[in-house]
Amino acid sequence: MIILGIETSCDETAVAVVEDGNIIKSNLISSQIKAHKRYGGVVPELASRMHAEKINSLIQKACEQADITLPDIDAIAVTEGPGLEGALLIGQAAAKTLSLTLGKPLIHVNHLWGHIYASMLATPRPQFPFICMLISGGHTQLLLIKNHFDATLLGQTRDDAVGESFDKISRRLGLGYPGGPIIEEEAKSGDPLKFTFPKAMLNIGLEFSFSGLKTAVIQEIMTLEKSGESIPVPDICASFQYTVAEIIQHKCLRASKENNCNTIVLSGGVSANQYLRQALEDMAAKNNLTVITPPLAYCTDNAAMIAVAAHYYHTHISTTHSQNFTVKPNLKVT
């Protein structure tokens, strides 16, 4: 079964062709980062306009690269939410038009399930049940994934998402957007123990709070600025990243013990962070747990994960798909 996936929830226009849920025939991403960079974050109107500009040529290119023509497609998958309303509408309009003209089913996919299903592209694939630590720009959630599209929310952030704190600290340091990869790079030459930052809510259940950590890092930067000292950017980045890793390790271990579940999946854009991946693997090795992360190319937003999730939905949940749906900017996993 060949599925064409379309993802336009934020600032990447993405189209992929995936066969049988695991053969990636093409996976194209047109990033808008350059355009949004000078504003320090995503400008919704600009995102919609750029999706509209790029979507048709990207669909064409994705088919060419996959060596297929439009009639070869068995189904179209599109992100229905969460995300920016106008941005989601562009992807959905393109997907609905394709579905109608080709007479092929249209499968709507929750972006968050897309991130979770990206882990099905890993070798080995996670087996149910597993704990999923979903860390992206907008979400920080610990989930128990019991079966296909069947999840229980174990805990989530009460304020900032992990990716959001990377982005805000990067912006405060004048390093640019998106902050995650830049901070990871800076941290490579820094001392993770140079500064001690707070690990809020570490011993309170499976909830998270990253706003206090972000504020503490920003306060440290302000204190250094006031004292006229030069800012040790790599040390700040390394100490911040180390603190995030400690929190994630601790909460994942607790979730695993409390739910008697020894597989942990790390997913979402922040799971592209090699330091975090390694930290979680080290914790898992000490505790006889298994950590599974999506291959790097499928951690941050992409359309392959949307097509993969659609494949599993179609094969395990339902082969009939309502066409009367619209975008859901605030969609949740559960």
Give the residues lining the site for ligand KG4 (CB under 6 A). Answer: 10, 136-138, 163, 166-167, 178-181, 184, 268-270, 272-273, 300-301
Q: Binding partner of residue 155 among Zn ion, ligand KG4, none, CB under 5 to 8 Å per kind?
A: none
Q: Are 113 and 106 in contact (CB under 8 A)?
A: no
Judged by beta carbon, residue 122 or residue 218, the one nearer Zn ion is: 122
Least spacing, CB of residue 138 vs ligand KG4, in Å: 5
Judged by beta carbon, residue 63 or residue 117, the one nearer ligand KG4 is: 117
Least spacing, CB of residue 254 vs ligand KG4, in Å: 22
Q: Name the residue with tokens 């499968």.
A: 107
> Rounded distance, CA 27 to CA 31, Å?
13
Chain positions 103 to 142 lying near Zn ion, rule: CB under 5 A, are: 136
Least spacing, CB of residue 21 vs ligand KG4, in Å: 20
Least spacing, CB of residue 136 vs Zn ion, in Å: 5
> Rounded distance, CA 85 to CA 329, Å?
5
What sign has the CA pseudo-torsion 150, 153, 154, 157? positive
Q: How far is CA 17 from the centre of its chain?
A: 19
Q: 47 CB contacts (<8 Å, ≥6 apart)?
A: 10, 11, 32, 36, 84, 86, 87
> Rounded distance, CA 213 to CA 199, Å?
7
By rule CB under 5 A, what count of residues binds Zn ion? 2
Judged by beta carbon, residue 104 or residue 190, the one nearer ligand KG4 is: 190
**By C-alpha distance, which of 196, 18, 191, 212 is closest to 114?**
18
Mind giving me the DSSP string for 190-230? S-TTSS----TTTTSTT-B--HHHHHHHHHHHHHHHHTTPP
Q: Binding partner of residue 272 among Zn ion, ligand KG4, none, CB under 5 to 8 Å per kind?
A: ligand KG4
Could you say which DSSP state residue 300 is in?
A: S
Least spacing, CB of residue 240 vs ligand KG4, in Å: 10
Q: Binding partner of residue 294 among Zn ion, ligand KG4, none, CB under 5 to 8 Å per kind?
A: none
Q: Binding partner of residue 179 among Zn ion, ligand KG4, none, CB under 5 to 8 Å per kind?
A: ligand KG4
User: Of the candidates 7, 12, 186, 301, which one interacts with Zn ion according to CB under 5 A?
Assistant: 301
Judged by beta carbon, residue 126 or residue 178, the one nearer ligand KG4 is: 178
> Rule CB under 5 A: which residues touch Zn ion?
136, 301
